[in-house]
Structure 1
Amino acid sequence: MRIATFNLLHGRSVTDGRVDPGRLSDAVVALDTDVLALQEVDRNQPRSHGADLTAMAAEAMRAVDARFVAALTGTPGGAWTVATGGEPADSPGYGVALVSRHPVVSWDVVRLGAARAGLPMWLPGTHRPILVRDEPRVALTAVVDGPAGPFTVCTTHLSFVPGWNRRQLRQVMATLSGRPGPLVLLGDLNMTPRPAARVSGLLPLAAAPTFPVHRPTRQLDHVLVRGLRATGPTEAVQLPLSDHRALVVTCGPV
């Protein structure tokens, strides 16, 4: 079974600054995965031409099940509010998604609050650090009816605030206790491999730098498992969109 996690940067290329939804479809076809976790996903946002990026990924992957869950509703960087899950289906959103070629038996959503403090950051085009406020986060869990039986897969995109992201990871792990079958946690955890493994208590299945995309020096994206083993090489795949590389593994039951 081939599994991947990919922070999309809402489909934007850091090379030309453009958002071309067709690039996402081509990227998903190239990855050729059975389960795909996506972060920084847009739905009905002007900056991504109003596209439903999850639906596009599902079509390209020939998935049988997919779900998008917004962490924010409205426009990121503009007028937005915390998503609750009660928004109209066509409302603009920004969050995470899971796409699967195998049927999903059940879904679950955990909402994670933003840190009160922000962090000063150097952003492209700025001459001095800018205080960046944290945003609310969300974790999406699916029980998947896989070829070897049911397994649990969860994706999330945690805070960039040190310490707070570890707190969020503990919160996510508490919700995954007792889930059926092997477990896979996928996503941009905004932390390096050692704390990700220590806090989650899971086994890292992939070791490769994923950020920044052109000359990656850090692994912020992770595939953490229980009850699975790698059956093929890890790949950190550079694609024509995003500031992250996609992290891909082939795995099977222990």
Structure 2
Amino acid sequence: MPQRHEHPVLRVATYNIHKGVQGVGPTRRLEIHNLGHAVEQLDADIVCLQEVRRMHRREERHFAHWPKQTQADYLAPEGYESVYRTNAITRHGEHGNAMLSRWPVLSHQQQDISDHRFEQRGFLHSTVQVVDRVVHVIVVHLGLVPASRVRQVVQLLAFIENTIPTQAPVLVAGDFNDWGTGLGRSMAQAGFGEWREQPTPTFPSRLPLNQLDHIYARGLKPIHAMVPMGRIWHRMSDHLPLVAEFTWMD
């Protein structure tokens, strides 16, 4: 079996892709093809995605080049495994969280954390075999209401405590929708850290003012984080991707 030092750095990305479409009304444009190239350019071992379409009947009729595959499968670079689970069912389709992995996916499950009837929310928990380690990856997309986000983080941390072994490496990545620092403090108190040596704002993509997207880790040491910038990136989604690198704690 390969030794751990043969893959000393784990590169992780999180990206809210805005369902692969930008703009509103008749001027909206399909960006899923550009997003496919973008995800490949991130060159991450694990890519955590939010607002991913499984299907949407109206958009499929509107856009001549709507992919035949689900968006998660379409965005997965060659050789990656894709995992998708639905958060929200709407009139014309459904969307949710996805994870793309360069390493073998051992298992996955969805947890419903909807806090009220106006928002359907959830997180995707997967286990990934990275050389000789099993890494737990949780993709989250929290609600728009501040009190809901607090309760959802409580549910998330309770799930981790009750389900995941204490010594296992854990990544929690996604769109936290949080303009403050309270949720970050809750994650830190539970033993999760992130790279904070320089600002990494991700929203809104055209003029990023705040970091709504985060990659927290327990049992892994953050060593770097960055946000790709430029016109090509802010055209594809209302969020920018966040990319972080981690090393093993031992």
2:171 maps to 1:184 = yes
CA pair 203-193 structure 1, distance change in 2 beyond 3 A: farther
- C-alpha distance in structure 2 between counterparts of 1:193 and 1:141, whole Å: 25
Map 1:100-139 onto structure 2 (within 5 A): 100-115=101-116, 134-139=118-123
- 8 Å contact from structure 2 (residues 125, 138) kept in 1: yes
Which residue type is aligned with residue 210 of structure 1?
T
CA shift, 1:199, in A, is 2.1
Q: Give 3-state SS (helix, strand or coil) of 1:172's partner.
A: helix
Q: CA deviation at 1:39?
A: 0.3
In structure 1, the partner of 2:6 is none
Asked if 1 retains the 8 angstrom alpha-carbon contact of 2:194 and 2:222, the reply is no
Alpha-carbon RMSD:
2.1
Q: Superposed, which structure 2 residues align to 1:5-84 within 5 Å? A: 5-14=14-23, 17-45=28-56, 46-47=58-59, 49=63, 50-51=66-67, 52-58=70-76, 60=77, 62-63=79-80, 65-73=81-89, 75=90, 79=91
Structure 1 residue aligned with 2:210: 218
Q: Where do 5+ consecutive residues of structure 1 fail to align?
A: 81-91, 117-133
Number of matched pairs: 219
Q: Which residue of 1 aligns with 2:237?
A: 242
Q: Secondary structure at the match of 1:217?
A: coil
TM-score, normalised with respect to structure 1: 0.79
The answer to whether 1:196 aligns with 2:183 is yes
- Answering whether residue 157 of structure 2 is matched by residue 173 of structure 1, we say yes
What secondary structure, in the 3-state scheme, does the structure 1 residue paired with 2:146 have?
coil
Deviations 1:94-151 (A, max 9, x none): 11111101111111210012435xxxxxxxxxxxxxxxxx411010001111135111
How many angstroms does 1:43 deviate by? 1.6
Residues 236 and 248, structure 1, Cα contact 8 Å, conserved in 2: yes
Is it true that 1:155 corresponds to 2:139 in the alignment?
yes
Deviations 1:145-184 (A, max 9, x none): 1135111110010101011111011101111125142111
Find the counterpart in structure 1 of residue 7 from structure 2: none
Kept in 2: contact 1:37–1:155 (CA 8 A):
yes
The one-letter amino acid of 1:71's match is N
The one of 13, 38, 42 aligned to 1:4? 13
- Alignment identity in percent? 29
Q: Which residue of 1 aligns with 2:220?
A: 228
The residue type paired with residue 249 of structure 1 is: A
TM-score (norm. length: structure 2): 0.81
Determine helix, strand or coil for the equivalent of 1:163. helix
Structure 2 residue ranges without an equivalent (≥5): 1-9
Distance (whole Å) between structure 1 residues aligned to residue 78 and residue 195 of structure 2: 23
